[in-house]
Amino acid sequence: MSLLEINDLSKRFGGVVAVDSCSLSVPAGSITGLIGPNGSGKTTVFNLVTGFIAPDGGQVRYKARSIAGLNPDRIYGLGIGRTFQLARIFPRLTALENMLVPVRRAGLRALLSQGQWGHEKERAMEMLAFMDISQVAGTLGGALSYGQRKLLELAAVMMAGPELVLLDEPAGGVNPALLERIAERIRQLNGQGTTFLLVEHNMGFVMNLCHEVVVLHQGRAIAKGTPNEVRENPAVLDAYLGT
């Protein structure tokens, strides 16, 4: 069963066709990789799926329901979270406060709730511990190291329990030890039921982690399969190495 289905998705910016009749699907419970040369449209696909830009054509279906054109906060409420290429957190809030911002259900009572938000705070501390950053709970986001921010970003996104998480270059800018930790956490979360779609350039990371890989080139999907299948695919090699 595919959790996310993209059909014939298109987007152009002025004269540039960023996404060109792109179709792909993400099976529920998988860790799917989205790879491709620079400029192949990967981040644009993310932005289209999460509502930051509206598509020119095509459909995006999440759990068989069309979500194209919805606002990002609505989409998060439906259960799709995302991280950003350059880890984004709230610099003037503490790490713990960062964890408490995500809103899954915007009910009036929930929003007006006071104090330490009881069980939400507990969950947040658990999540921080899971990511091994509970010691910085009281530190302002702006004072965190980049690695800590990456971990915090992922932890915060998970707070509202999204079923699908889009990770934009989770391995970008991190050292090998942290890389391994991140991969491990993703695996664990996946084991607990979260589906992941990740954009990544670090091939080792992708090959080790992903069940399935989709290759984008010039805005369309040119190959898909297991990491090994894709690795040998001539079209893929062409895309990466060709002019």
Partner 1 sequence: MSGTPTLAIRPARATALKAFGLALLALLALLLPVVAPDPATTNMAIFTVMYVGLATSWNIMGGYTGYISLGHAAFFGFGAYSFGLMLIHFNVTPGYPPFALVPVAGLLTAVLAVGIGWIALRTRAATFVIVTIAFMFMLQLLGENLVELTGGGAGLGLPYSHDWGGDFFNIPYYYAMLALAVLALVISWWIRRSKFGLGLLAIRDDEDKALAVGVPTRGFKLTAFVISALLVGMIGAVYGYYITYLYPQFVFDPLIGISMVLMAFFGGLGTLSGPVIGALLLEPAQLEFAYRLGASKLYLVFYAAVFLIVILLLPRGIVPSVADLVRGWRRRQMGPTAGGSRKAPAASAGEEPPTPAQQGLASP
Partner 2 sequence: MTLVLEAAVLGILTGGVYALMASGLTLIFGVMRIINVGHGALVVLGAYLSFALFSSLHMDPFVSLVVTMPVMFLLGVLLQLVFIRPLKTDREALSVLVTYAIALGIEGVLGYIFTTNYVELRGWYETATFAIFGFHITWVYVFGFALCLLILGGLFLMLYRTAFGGAIRATMLNRTAAQLIGVDVDRVAAIAFGIGVATAAAGGVVFGITNAFNPGSHYDLISRLLTIIVLGGLGSLRGAIIAALLMLVTEDITQVLISPVWANFVFFVILVAILIVRPQGLYGVRVRDRI
- Say whether 198 sits in a helix, a strand or coil: strand
Q: Which two tokens stand for residue 176?
A: 């090998």
Distances (CA, A) of 213 to 25, 117, 131, 162, 182: 10, 40, 26, 21, 19
Residue 53 partner contact from partner 1, partner 2, none using kind-dependent CB cut-offs of 5 to 8 Å: partner 2
Say which amino acid occupies 127.
M
Of residues 47, 98, 148, 194, which one binds partner 2 by CB under 8 A?
47
- Report the distance separating Cα 242 and Cα 224, nearest Å: 19
Say which amino acid occupies 113.
S
**Binders of partner 1 in range 10-39 (CB under 8 A):** 38-39
**Binders of partner 1 in range 107-146 (CB under 8 A):** 110-117, 125, 134-144
Binding string, 152-171, against partner 1, x = CB under 8 A?
----xx-xx-------x---
User: Rounded to the nearest 5°, which phi and psi values hold at 120?
Assistant: -65, -40
For residue 198, list its beta bridge partners.
33, 167
Binding string, 45-84, against partner 1, x = CB under 8 A?
-----x-x------------------xxx--xx---xx-x
Which residues bind to partner 2, rule: CB under 8 A? 43, 47, 52-53
Which residues bind to partner 1, rule: CB under 8 A? 38-39, 43, 50, 52, 71-73, 76-77, 81-82, 84-94, 96-97, 100-104, 106, 110-117, 125, 134-144, 156-157, 159-160, 168
